[in-house]
Chain A
């Protein structure tokens, strides 16, 4: 059943709302997770209560005062005794964070280039969010509208927005626009720290774009496609003609995963490559002059691109919508496809669950690395990019071509 144009547009709108809602809720949760993960790694507890007294004066112990925040603190104080849920203490803090950013005064420096200053955070955010148009969260339809559903009955609700045949090119191209947001914002601030941060960021992102794209060429060469869905499916379940090629492919994907994530860290300006906002040298880097909502646009775009990088790594290297990473799914399928155990048979099927789990794990890795690896010096950063990652990826590319030839 093919939808009419109007039905198609309605479904697309719903999908956009769902995907944007997913990303927009994930980002604040991620900031909370960042606090907690880094605190736990440093043997601390992180945020465990909400400060201040909303609706009423705060007095006495924080969890006993008769205010909204006091009540929340009391609840969280109780949660502290429950082993698993004690992680959730301090969760309302992310609402407080959002409220703080929303109500903060928005300062535009006097000598700033006003138009560019206002537009560049929007540019960064649009670039970071448009990428989700080509990422597919589930390979096929997520669910079908029930037949009785008004107007949309019987139509599929897909796990992706568009099934572009050049999806990867689209993602890489649009994601690269984000650097304009950073550089233009830095330049428009008319201040030296942002300018230095922006220049660094430009050099860094342009350098790391090369190995990032080269490492993504490995799945392109192996699958012979640029379509996101097709690539991730074929990387996961393609059965190579002979065993040696399969082993080589798995090893290649294993190494490629690490190389790609390293480049991804640099692309998203995350530690250990967050030289654009090196606090001890550049105050806060390119967003020094930004405050309030404009700052949170940069913030949102950084976290959204973290999700993008995780999604790409999960799709092309960790098996995408299938359970097993590194193209091992065909081995798994070989053993369990015709298993009588319903659960084991189900694990051979693609599911949005595996994909989301992999994304969450990779996002956790982002925070884990931030808590572990110190920031690189600038020349070290360039050395890692040009002297190690580009030769690595070139070698990987040649091996991928040989494997393709052998298969």
Chain B
């Protein structure tokens, strides 16, 4: 009774909150420089490269095996499962290769929602979502990716990506 009356008359909660925020203010004020030890959670992005989480879902990329051969066998699982239907595959043959070879593998990034269903459905580990997040472009064509031709290459990074890297792991 007395304590509840006291809590009503004197705002202890506000005092506690002010203490907490004051503590953080002091901490960040002391370590707002780019020292080794820092309290704040901000990454000064264009200048300082970030470390991405291993499961970060960036742009779709195709992988080659040790012989430099495309791993995809045209099972069309990714094309079927893609909720936005941005993958188009054309089955073909290549001499000296037992499995089918994708003559065409088109990926139109402008509608991709980066859900990673395609990667999960692929039983041959032939595609990944790499760690590239700077995907903005000035041209609509820059969002179209293919294995060859006038489009962006499915194996390389996009040219606009200055700061983020594509990786194969």
Contacts and interface: CB of A to CB of B under 8 A. Distances in A.
B25 A44 contact: no
Given A368-B18, A372-B14, A372-B21, A40 B47 contact: no
Contact residues of A: prevailing secondary structure: loop
B1 interface: no
Contacts of B103: none
Contacts of B21: 41, 368, 371-372
A80 B46 contact: no
A86 B18 contact: no
Interface residues of B, number: 24
A362 to B, nearest CB: 14
Nearest to B13: A373
A50 to B, nearest CB: 14
Contact of B29 (A40, A77, A80, A372): A40
Contacts of B34: 80-81, 86
A388 B10 CA distance: 10
Given A80-B34, A372-B18, A372-B21, A44 B40 contact: yes
Interface string A132-165: 0000000000000000000000000000000000
Q: Which size bracket describes the interface of A in this complex?
A: 20 to 34
B17 A40 contact: no
Interface string B129-167: 000000000000000000000000000000000000000
B33 interface: yes
B30 interface: yes
B44 A45 contact: yes
A62 B40 contact: no
B25 A61 contact: no
A372 B34 CA distance: 26
B72 to A, nearest CB: 37
Contacts of A40: 24-25, 28-29, 32, 40
A41 B25 contact: yes
A86 B33 contact: yes
A388 to B, nearest CB: 8
Contact of B17 (A45, A77, A87, A373): A373
Given A43-B40, A63-B47, A369 B28 contact: no
B6 interface: no
B42 interface: yes
A99 interface: no
A182 B152 CA distance: 57
A243 interface: no
Given A45-B40, A83-B33, A62 B17 contact: no
B13 to A, nearest CB: 9
A62 B28 contact: no
A45 B25 CA distance: 11
Interface string B1-21: 000000011000010011011
Nearest to B9: A388
Given A83-B33, A83-B35, A372-B18, A44 B42 contact: yes
Interface string A356-379: 000000000000110111000000
A44 B47 CA distance: 17
B67 to A, nearest CB: 39
B39 interface: yes
A308 interface: no
B122 to A, nearest CB: 37
A37 B29 CA distance: 9
A61 B30 contact: no
A48 B44 contact: yes
Given A43-B41, A48-B44, A368 B33 contact: no
A61 B18 contact: no
B24 to A, nearest CB: 6
A1 interface: no
A224 to B, nearest CB: 29
Contacts of B9: 388
A371 B14 CA distance: 12
Nearest to A40: B28
A368 B14 CA distance: 11
B92 interface: no
17 contacts: A40-B32, A41-B24, A43-B24, A44-B28, A44-B42, A45-B28, A48-B44, A62-B47, A80-B32, A83-B30, A83-B33, A83-B35, A86-B32, A87-B29, A371-B21, A372-B18, A373-B17
Interface of A: 37, 40-45, 48, 61-63, 77, 80-83, 86-87, 368-369, 371-373, 388
Given A48-B44, A87-B32, A368-B18, 10 more contacts: A37-B25, A40-B29, A40-B32, A41-B24, A44-B40, A62-B47, A80-B33, A80-B34, A368-B21, A388-B9
CB-based closest 10 A-B pairs? A40-B28, A86-B33, A45-B42, A372-B21, A41-B21, A372-B17, A86-B32, A83-B33, A40-B25, A41-B25
